[in-house]
Every structure is written in C-alpha cells, then in structure tokens.
Amino acid sequence: MSDERYGTTHIHARPGDFGKVVLMPGDPLRSKFIAETYLESPRLVNTVRGVNGYTGIYHGETVSVMASGMGIPSIGIYSYELYHCYGVEAILRVGSIGALQEKVRLMDLLLGMGASTDSAYAEQFRFPGQLAPLADFGLLELAVEICREKKARFHVGNLFSSDSFYSDHPDVNIRCRDMGILGVEMEAAGLYLNAARAGKKALAICTVSDQLFRHESLTPQERQTGFADMIEVALETAVRYLRQEREA
C-alpha cells in the first residue's frame, strides 16, 4: 500500500471510484478514447504513471476503464489491485491480437475461452500441475450473444499470452497455430489467473490487428481508434452482467 491516506502503490483512487466492471485496454490513450467517446460524464479517477483510469455511465450503468500497460507483469499488478483493493468484480480486457489461423481476418473479434502462455506467472500459485487459465463462462456467454446480435465476425477459442513480443524462436507461431491457438497477445493469461485466485471474473475480447501468416496489419491510427465493435461488445457485456447481478 502507499503512504497516502488512500490508494495503492499503483492506483491513487478513493474507495468507490471504480465501478464493479472495468474495461482494460493496454494503451492509456485507448482508455482515454473509450472514456471520452462512449461514457457519459467520464470522471478521471487515477493518473499514476500515466495509466489513467476513468469512471462514467454507459446505458445507465456505472462502468470504468483503465489501461493495463503491456504484458502479464503489468496487467498482473493492476488487475490484482482492482480485484483486491477496489471491489472490482469483473475485468474485460480489450486490445489487439495477432491472428494465427487462416480463417481469422483483420478486424475480427477473438474471445478468449482460454489463454495458454509461456509465462512463469502461474508458478506463484503452487498449483500441482499445469494450470489452464480460463475466462468466466457467464461473461463469455454474454459476449457471444452480443456478437451474434451485432452480426460481428468473431471466433471463440484459445489465445496465447506471450512474454516476448520479439521472440528468438522462429517457429513459435507455427507451433501455436498447429495446436489450434486463434491468436497471440500478451495479457489474457495473467488476467485470468488473477481472477481465478481472487474468485472474480475476467474475459479477453480482442480485435485482430495483424494476420501473422499473411503479413497483414492495421495502421497505427486504426489500432488506436478503429476497434468500435470490440469496445461496444465489451461495454454491452458489462451492462448486461451488472443487470444480471442486480436481478439475481
């Protein structure tokens, strides 16, 4: 904990500043874009290290958005503090991903039912075997329902959360593809592991920014602001989850 009257080491916000559901893009500029574009009356609740967090209203429900930074260590820190110190119940990762399967195209949505990884992050939990990091089925079910309603192109399956953006193993993508992995990113497995340990909920909803075997990529501007389907699916998932919980 920090030495301040409130806050944690990495989040300087008051109790109650975050909603029960938080969207987590990797990029702080994307969190700013989501808050200012989609939320009513967005309020800046955290500015530590430039990882800005916002809380506002979407379709009548309180929803927050805060960047996770890049990689499992970074999302591991922020998701831990949100789950354990701020009463957050569900985190929806929204970010870019590189596609590995031929059927997956640029701008498709990938919903991570599971997240394999080369990270040693899970070793801290001393699980007697290889722990499979999984999404929350209820969130996944809602997201699939919304994707179908929106007629969005989407795929559900296993993601690969890599600790290396630049890998020294030239065949890593081939090996992942051959095991049916839909795409490679850098955060989902850490988020899923933290959610499991905290007894909370998590789901990664990613937009394909690169088709790794066809060498196709979105522009930097498209990566920053062109992910409307992903953001809208995540926000609607948050709203329906919150209403379900209230009615339960």
The 10s digit of each residue's pLDDT in 1-19 is: 344 557 788 998 889 999 9
- Catalytic sites, residue numbers: 210
**Number of Cβ atoms within 10 Å of the Cβ of 27:** 17
**Number of Cβ atoms within 10 Å of the Cβ of 178:** 10
Q: Which amino acid is at 108?
A: D
pLDDT tens per residue across span 199-213? 999 999 999 999 999
The Cα angle at residue 44 between residues 93 and 188, in degrees rounded to 5: 10
Q: Which residue has the tokens 């899923």?
A: 192
Angle of helix 72-85 relative to helix 188-198, nearest 10 degrees, comes to 30
Asked whether 172 and 94 are in contact (CB, 8 A), the reply is no
Q: Under 8 Å CB-to-CB from 67, ≥6 apart: which residues?
A: 24, 25, 26, 27, 28, 30, 31, 51, 52, 53, 78
The Cα angle at residue 151 between residues 149 and 155, in degrees rounded to 5: 105
Tokens in use for 72?
């499992």
Tokens in use for 228?
């409307």
Q: Which residue has the tokens 């065949």?
A: 171
Look at residue 100 and give its three-state secondary structure: coil
The span from the CA of 58 to the CA of 116, in Å, is: 32
pLDDT tens per residue across span 74-109? 999 999 999 999 999 999 999 999 999 999 999 999
Q: Is this prediction's pTM over 0.75? A: yes
- Strands 61-66 and 21-24, by their bridges, are parallel
| Mean pLDDT, rounded, for 185-198 | 98
At 157, the pLDDT band (50, 70, 90 cuts) reads very high
Mean of per-residue pLDDT scores for the chain: 94
pLDDT tens per residue across span 27-70? 999 999 999 999 999 999 999 898 999 999 999 999 999 999 99
Q: Which of 49-53, 112-116, 145-149, 223-227 has the lowest mean pLDDT?
A: 223-227
pLDDT at position 64, please? Answer: 98
Domains delineated in the chain: 21-247 (3.40.50.1580)
pLDDT tens per residue across span 217-239? 998 777 766 689 999 999 999 99
